[in-house]
Amino acid sequence: MPDNDDIEQAGVALCQLLVRHTLHWIFREQKTSDYGVDAHVETRENGEATGRLLALQIKTGESYFSEPTVDGWIFRPNDRHIAYWLGHSLPVFIVLVDVENQRIYWQLLSSESIKVTDRGARTVHVPASNTIDNAPDVWSQFASVIGRDAIERFDQNIRVLAPNVGRIVQRRAEIAAHCSALLAAHLAVGRSVPALTVQTPINTQPQWLLDMGVEAWTAIANYASSHNLNAEASEAYRRSAELTEENAGRMHFASGYHLLHTDPPGARVEFSLAESSGEPMLSQIGLVLLSRLETPRNVCGNIQRVG
């Protein structure tokens, strides 16, 4: 008998198959779903990736079909995930997977669809009519929402970002206005769940983000740093370093700095890369900081041995 992990993987695999071969869209599984997101989907038009994204929470197994209604099923979400879904810059859909019959059923997760019962429990109604067949129109519509007014709301979005984030995005907007507006909207809308907001572009890398180049990753790194997301900041600074020769050393130093307390070996690698990228002074500063953290303090130095 398959265990829960096998059942869940079968559900993700079927969902991926249907998205890729029925919709011909891009499906990216997220290996960790601490925030209640199991996959990201990027829409395509005429075979080309659009950069428009949506997120999926995928649930598989008979237990998720154990509360039928006249026209669907009741899904009971994990309360811990609701704030992440509602604060996400992307639309999030619950997908119930019926592996035996090779079908999926879905519903948008929103403040309207998440109901509260008289006893305070939260439920979502998943209609049996919401299948892969009618997913394209609805999913495309919601995936386009963030970009629809990104240009018009650009100044407003910039104002709620940290100055060292907003300045970079504004500067890049002079050359790539639409891409910069999308990034500003993504970071601003998702600021209530910053970890999820940062991990989304790192995991999905939509084309509009890649078109922005080094500035996008530097802005994301600064955003992560301003929210004390050190691992994510390090990753984004490292990606910035890969896209610039002029500032690669500084970016590697920043990447290493954000790993000092959580990944000293990783920090050492980044400081070494800072030196080989033309920043020996910053490299030495980083290595000194690292050595101080790695050297045990002699807290008993002034205590005389007895006996």
Give the pLDDT of residue 38: 95
Hunting for tokens 């869940």 — which residue is that? 8
Residue pair 201/43 in contact by the 8 Å Cβ criterion = no
Q: How far apart are CA 50 and CA 34, in angstroms?
A: 27
What tens digit of pLDDT does each residue of 153-199 get? 999 999 999 999 999 999 999 999 999 999 999 999 999 999 999 99
Could you tell me where in the chain the CATH 3.40.1350.10 domains are found? 4-143
Q: Which residue has the tokens 């572009």?
A: 201
Q: Are 49 and 26 in contact, with CB atoms under 8 Å apart?
A: yes
Q: What is the pLDDT along the chain (307 residues), one digit of tens a residue?
A: 566 778 899 999 999 999 999 999 999 998 876 788 999 999 999 988 888 999 999 999 999 999 999 999 999 999 989 999 999 999 999 999 999 999 999 999 999 999 999 888 999 999 999 999 999 999 999 998 888 889 999 999 999 999 999 999 999 999 999 999 999 999 999 999 999 999 999 999 998 999 999 999 999 999 999 999 999 999 999 999 999 999 999 999 999 999 999 999 999 999 999 999 999 999 999 999 999 987 765 544 443 333 3
Q: With beta carbons less than 8 A apart as the criterion, state whether 197 and 187 touch.
A: yes
pLDDT of residue 136: 95
Q: Which residues on adjacent β-strands are paired with residue 290?
A: none
In this prediction the pTM is 0.88
Residues 141-166: tens digit of each pLDDT: 999 888 888 999 999 999 999 999 99
DSSP symbols for 76-138: ---HHHHHHHHH-SS-EEEEEEETTTTEEEEEE-STTTEEE-TTS-EEEEEETT--TTSHHHH
Assigned CATH for 4-143? 3.40.1350.10
Which is it for the CA torsion 240, 241, 247, 251, positive or negative?
A: positive
